Each structure stands twice: as C-alpha cells, then as structure tokens.
Amino acid sequence: MKTIQAYRFALDLTPGQERGVLAHAGAARVAHNWALARVKAVMDQRAAERTYGVPEELLTPSLPWSLPALRKAWNAAKADVAPWWRECSKEAFNTGLDALARALKNWADCRSGKRAGRPVGFPRFKSRRRTTPSVRFTTGAIRVEPDRKHVVLPRLGRLKLHESARKLARRLDNGTARIMSATLRRDGSRWHVAFCVEVQRADCRPRRPGSVVGVDLGVKRLAVLSTGELVPNPRHLVTAQQRMRALGRALARKTGPDRRTGQHASKRWQRAAARLSRVHARVANLRRDGLHKLTTRLAREHGTVVVEDLNVAGMLRNRKLARHVADAGFAEIRRQLAYKTTWNGGRLLVADRWYPSSKTCSGCGAVKTKLTLSDREYLCEACGLALDRDHNASLNLAALAAQFDTAGSGPVAGRGADRKTPLAGPVAVKRQPGTAPAGQTGTVPPQGGTTTRVLTKAQ
C-alpha cells in the first residue's frame, strides 16, 4: 500500500545556517507579498474600468492565478523587485508563490460554492514579525547523510539533526520510500525539517481484527472506551498556565518592538520571548506525544473504532470550556485515527452528530428526553441501569458497528438526524441478535481500512 507520510526532525543550526534559513523564508514572504500586490492591483484596476463603462474586451488584461503564471510574472520582475534573488534558492520564491496560488484558488472555489466548509477569505499580506518562517524544497539535492545525523538541502548545504533519522534512512536504503519535498519551519525557538515521503507500507492487520471499541471523548477524562478503560486528561496547558503567566508578566516589563515609533526589541525582551515560546512549544509537544500514543494503540489493537462527529467549533464558543476543549485536541484525535486505522488494516466509523449516545440506555435502548451536563451518572428509568455517563455513551457507540454491518457494506440507509433529540425520542439502537455485547470482542470483520460515517435515522 502506497501512502504519503511525513517524517519530522528537529535541527541544530549554527548562527550562520540560521541566518541562511531565515533569508530563504524571507524570500518566500517577499515573493508572496509582491504577487499578492500585483493581483490586487490588476483586480482593482479592472473594477475601476468597469465603473467607467469600458467594454469587457478592452479591460486591463487579467493576471492568471495559477502557479506557472505567477512564477512567470515573478521571473520577469525579480531583477527589480529583489536584486539579491541569486543569493537564495529558486525554491524559496516558489514557496511563496505556491502558497498564494493555493489561497486564491480556495477563495475562488469558496465564492463559487465548489469548496465545502467554513468561508475562506481573500489572501492577506504576510508580516515579517507575525508570520511563522517556513520554506519548502521540492527539487535539487535533498538527502539524508549516511551517518543519519545530517541532511543536505539545496543552497543550505549540510544541516545537523538533533536526533537520528534512522527510521527514514532505513526505508530509503530499502527502496520503500521516496522523498518528495522537505519543509523547514520554525516552531518557537527551534527549527524542524519535515520530509514529505511516498512510502510503500506493508499490509497490516490489527491484533484483534474482530474487536469493536467505542471512544467517547471528553474534558474531565480525555477518552472513555467501551472496554471500561478510562484515559485521563493530562491537561498540559493548565499545568503550565502558572509559569506562562509569570513569563508573560516578565516579558511585558521588557522593552519590546514598536512599529509606530520604529523601536527595536531589547536583548532582554528577546530572551524573555524565547523562554515563553519554549514553554508553549513544550505544551504542544507533550499534547502531540500523548495523542499519538493513544491513537496508535487503538488503531493497532482493535479492528473497528467508533467515534462521534463532534461540533468542536461550537464547543469553542463556550467561554468556560473553550480552553479545555482546545487543550484536549478532539479534532486531532479523529484525524489521527482516520489514517492510522487505514495503515493498520482496520476501519473508523463516525457516528452522526445528533446521535444521542449519552441519552440512550446501553442496556434496553430507551432514550431520555433530557440529560444535563451535570448528570455524570446515567440512570435508566425503564430498566434501572446505573452506569457512568461516558461509559454508557461509549457502549452505545460500539453498538453502532453492528447496525452498520446489518445495513451492508455501506452506511445505514438515511441521511442522519438533522435536529436535536425530540420529546418522543428517536428510535432506539438495539443490539442485533447474534452479535457480541458492546465493548467486547465481536464478529465484525475489518473492511480494509475505511472511514465511514454511520447514520442513525432513516428517511
């Protein structure tokens, strides 16, 4: 199975190498801003000419938004715009132009209705202070050295890695991987290089192909599995909050940059900002590490993983829970499960957003009309079941796998619930006869690593 995979390594750059990388990132920003200004000028000129009654065929010629057209316009003007262009690799300018071409296409597709999701605004100019420095190389000498401690990139030469690249080097030596691009990016105070690699992965199977696990995500506990396992929420951001406040106050007392007066940041301000950025980077690294360990274990162990389609954007509007929801990383868990189940030969089922997993009794299938957030224990009035609220929801999610298999190879017929739970309650999802109880090993075979949305209400 061929797939696109990224390998990310930290770098140990010398001051001279860091200046060279920053110069390439600045060249990408300059090319992006120049092309964006050119596009805006042509658009404004054509709009003004239309107000004067100029015929369409006599308007100023439009500038195409494709990457080849932007690159051609840049090559014609780079001698005047950037006389120093020979000091940087051509890939640096191509990075900025490619980012603008993608942004313009997304904006145009959003306006025409071709792009789904949240609205996309018109591209904006990149600031030298606020934009994260980044540059991507797609051609030239891109390789990992035999010592697996250095990488070679065009114009930048030999860069030392902070860690060994043996995992990527083994695949390259065996011929099961091919480097497509390399991206340099500064996260906080440390530079990283990410290799986009086409990998030939061996076909895998989960340790328990017939196992079905429901995963209920939350803030109090990061995840509750239908097997009864409770995954605690480490709350990395809350743990580091006190130190962040102290460093933020220390930074505010220093002399920082001021664009209005042209004042430059003092050395002490730069050192304080670096200390604060390192704390933020540590929180992000700890969160990323924990989520990867959890999702990898689920994908390798179980043949079917069932999660909910959570409205994370709506949760972030809650001022009291927004910080905790963002710290948990619900969307990242689902994203990682999507590709890791495919790699391991399993499947990921996504329950409908309005499926009442918390309101439904996992024992008899009765549905409550109302369940407040403060009710942490589920008490069924029909059968008398008393169970933890999150564990009950995970059992209901695991039971959806049987409903999916009963409906066939595709999702359950219907378009899914489009509103909240009515007073009468939707039709309860009951366990199918002959299947294993939710949370235990069942008879559901893996479907070759697919992600399927489970719908819960027929038309």
Among 175, 200, 225, the domain boundary falls at 200
Rounded distance between C-alpha atoms, residue 434 and residue 221, angstroms: 32
- Going by C-alpha positions, the residue among 444, 445, 446 that lies closest to residue 345 is 446
Last residue of a domain, one of 79, 112, 145: 112
**One domain for residues 95 and 163:** no
Identify the band that residue 9 occupies on the pLDDT scale cut at 50, 70 and 90.
very high
Catalytic residue among 216, 327, 352, 405: 216
Indicate whether 445 pLDDT > 90.
no
Residue type, 421: T
Same domain, 182 and 217: no
End-to-end CA distance of the chain: 37
Same domain, 57 and 191: no
Decide if 173 is catalytic. Answer: no
Q: How confident is the model at residue 418 (pLDDT cuts 50, 70, 90)?
A: very low
Phi, psi of 252 (to 5 degrees): -70, -25
pLDDT tens digits, 232-283: 999 999 999 999 999 999 999 999 998 889 899 999 999 999 999 999 999 9
Residue-wise pLDDT for 192-234, tens only, equals: 999 999 999 988 899 999 999 999 999 999 999 999 999 999 9
> Do 291 and 375 sit in the same domain of this protein?
yes
**pLDDT at site 407:** 56
pLDDT of residue 381: 84
**Span 23-61, pLDDT tens digits:** 999 999 999 999 999 999 999 999 999 999 989 888 889
Per-residue model confidence (pLDDT) at position 368: 87
250 part of a folded domain: no
Reported as a pLDDT band with limits 50, 70 and 90, residue 453 is: low
Say if residue 81 is in the same domain as residue 192.
no
Do residues 55 and 166 share a domain?
A: no
- Report if residue 240 sits inside a domain: no
Q: Is 203 a catalytic residue?
A: no
User: Same structural domain for residues 293 and 164?
Assistant: no
- Do both 87 and 57 map to the same domain? yes
The pLDDT of residue 135 is: 96
Give the whole-number percent of the chain exceeding pLDDT 70.
88
Does the residue 122 lie in any domain?
A: no
Say if 117 falls within a structural domain.
no
Q: Where are the alpha helices (DSSP H) in 316-414?
A: 322-328, 330-343, 389-407
Do 46 and 186 have their domain in common? no
Domain assignment present for residue 270? The answer is: no
User: Does 288 fall in a domain?
Assistant: yes
Specify whether 165 is located in the same domain as 216.
Answer: no
Per DSSP bridges, beta strands 302-308 and 347-351 are parallel
Quote the mean pLDDT of the chain. 87
Residue 154 belongs to some domain of the structure: yes
C-alpha torsion angle, residues 157, 160, 164, 165 (rounded to 10): -20
The reply to whether 99 and 161 lie within a common domain is: no
Of the listed 308, 327, 352, 405, which one is catalytic? 308
pLDDT at 236: 95
Lowest mean pLDDT among 7-11, 246-250, 339-343, 366-370: 366-370
Amino acid letter, 246: A
Domain count for the chain: 3
Q: Grade residue 441 by pLDDT with cuts at 50, 70 and 90.
A: very low
11 is in which domain, residue-wise? 2-15+133-200
Task: Pick the catalytic residue from 91, 327, 352, 390.
Answer: 390
Question: Are residues 385 and 448 located together in one domain of the fold?
Answer: yes
Question: In the annotation, is 308 catalytic?
Answer: yes
In a domain, 430, yes or no: yes
| Residue 270 CA: distances (Å) to CA of 189, 245, 248, 276 | 11, 17, 12, 10
